[in-house]
Structure 1
Amino acid sequence: MPARKQPRSVAREIALLSLSQIKGNPEKLEAVELDELMLAAVRALNGEIHDALEDAASEVSRAEDQLLRSETLAVNVKSARTMVQDALTLTRAAINRLGHVVELPEFLQLTRQHEVRGFALDILTTLRRRNEQIKETIEQSLVDWQYHRLPRLDRDILRIAVAEILFLETPYKVAINEAVELAKRYSDEDGHRFINGVLRRVTDRMRTEGSPE
């Protein structure tokens, strides 16, 4: 059984995962029930698992083709080995996502569900209502990246953190630490460092401009 998590941590995770699945204007979002949010989150994770396994199978198939073309050329063997390693990485990612699917309902059962629902919906409605301001704040702190080119999960983790800082009265340090933990859980190896750097620049800019914490 996973360790107990704070309601807001669980809410952030559910908001992150359900964001691409839950549609509608802010007023309609306020009527969404917790089980709908959980179903959307699980569907999002299942979709990522399916995509990762399909990509892994494709890499294995490409590796087999390379070996069949010529087992004597070192370059083909090396290329095939790289493809197999990529397939293993994708498979590990799928297994990790599967673990999250199993853990998330347990986390929910171990915490105060009304608080989870309330904060998750606060995040989702804020993202809908304040999307342009949140986007602009992130864009101002990107270095050598364009907002629309960011991986979806990284972008959404940043959006949630900035929404919390700007509109939900979450202290800078808490928002950054929670975003980094989400990135460690759902992004790639460098994702949490990238997100930490962007959010540090966001908060540095806010301090410089005199925005209160």
Structure 2
Amino acid sequence: MQARRISRELALLSISQLPSAPERLGTQKLQDLVVAAVRTLATEARDTLEAAAAELQRGNSYLLTSETRASTTDTARRMVADAIALTETAINRLGGAIEIPEFIQLANQTDVRAYALEIITRLQEERPQVDAVLNKALIDWQLDRLAAIDQDILRIAVTEMMFLGIPDKVAINEAIEMAKRYSGDDGHRFINGVLRKVTEHLKAGVRE
């Protein structure tokens, strides 16, 4: 995995747990980013497993209180299926937490830290403008109504396009890959659509 791709994932997963002040961000070590990223994934996994357990409990209650009614049994079956899907998501999150330190060992650690902090710092500095561009592209929708992970994937991509000199196509493709790993089932399609609209606005000179 390329160093910059690892940097993007570290930035995505650690940004919510790191200080926003640029002077404090500059003091963060690589291990600080890794720990923050692992904590984020572990927390998401725990929350997802709790949701799965609750869904299983609800399904079990439906079965225990039913009188073999088909509708109740079907409802319970759907709940169990949802719980299994949630559990799979949690396992993937835990797998991601385990993979991150290994990825770091395979890459140039200095480059990984430098670019991850560059993304986070520039995003924090330019966030009002980044958010304005995204809200302009989100027709009949608002950025703060999206899942937090989708908001940050979009922000990172726009920051790279507008302020870090990354070609639009590369930024969009990288955002799609992150969405496939960390967003919902159709998250990558939504991310793709929004970012393509962003590039249209940027090329037309629309920034607010």
Normalized per residue, which structure has more helix? Answer: 2
Pair 1:127 & 2:126 matched? no
The answer for the alignment partner of 1:178 in structure 2 is 174
Q: 2:197 aligns with which of 201, 207, 211?
A: 201
Query: Do the aligned residues in 2 keep the contact of 1:7 with 1:112 (CA within 8 Å)?
Result: yes
Q: 2:75 aligns with which of 76, 79, 83?
A: 79
The letter of the residue matching 2:189 is R
> Could you give the per-residue CA deviations for residues 16-51 of structure 1, whole angstroms, max 9, x where no partner exists?
000111124011101111000000000000000000
Pair 1:88 & 2:84 matched? yes
The answer for the alignment partner of 1:51 in structure 2 is 47
Q: Distance in 1 between matches of 2:122 and 2:180?
A: 24
The letter of the residue matching 1:191 is G
The letter of the residue matching 1:93 is T
Q: 1:111 aligns with which of 94, 107, 127?
A: 107
Q: Distance in 1 between matches of 2:125 and 2:194?
A: 22
Quote the offset at 1:210 in angstroms: 8.3
Q: Distance in 2 between matches of 1:71 and 1:199?
A: 51
The answer for the alignment partner of 1:148 in structure 2 is 144
Percent identical pairs in the alignment equals 52
Q: Distance in 1 between matches of 2:96 and 2:69?
A: 41
> Could you give the per-residue CA deviations for residues 50-82 of structure 1, whole angstroms, max 9, x where no partner exists?
001000000000001111111321111111111
2:17 aligns to what SS in structure 1?
coil
The answer for the alignment partner of 2:19 in structure 1 is 23
Unpaired runs of at least 5, structure 2: none
Q: 2:28 aligns with which of 8, 22, 32?
A: 32
> Could you give the per-residue CA deviations for residues 143-196 of structure 1, whole angstroms, max 9, x where no partner exists?
332211100101100000001111111110110000000000111110000000
2:16 aligns to what SS in structure 1?
coil
- Tell me which moved more, 17-26 or 35-44: 17-26
Q: Distance in 1 between matches of 2:68 and 2:101?
A: 51
1:20 aligns to what SS in structure 2?
helix
**Closer, same or farther in 2 for the Cα pair 1:130/1:210, shift >3 Å?**
closer
Task: State the TM-score, normalized to the length of structure 2.
Answer: 0.97
Q: Distance in 2 between matches of 1:183 and 1:120?
A: 17
Report how many residues are paired.
Answer: 207
The letter of the residue matching 1:172 is D
The letter of the residue matching 2:86 is L
The letter of the residue matching 1:46 is A
Aligned CA RMSD, in angstroms, stands at 1.2
Query: Do the aligned residues in 2 keep the contact of 1:71 with 1:77 (CA within 8 Å)?
Result: no
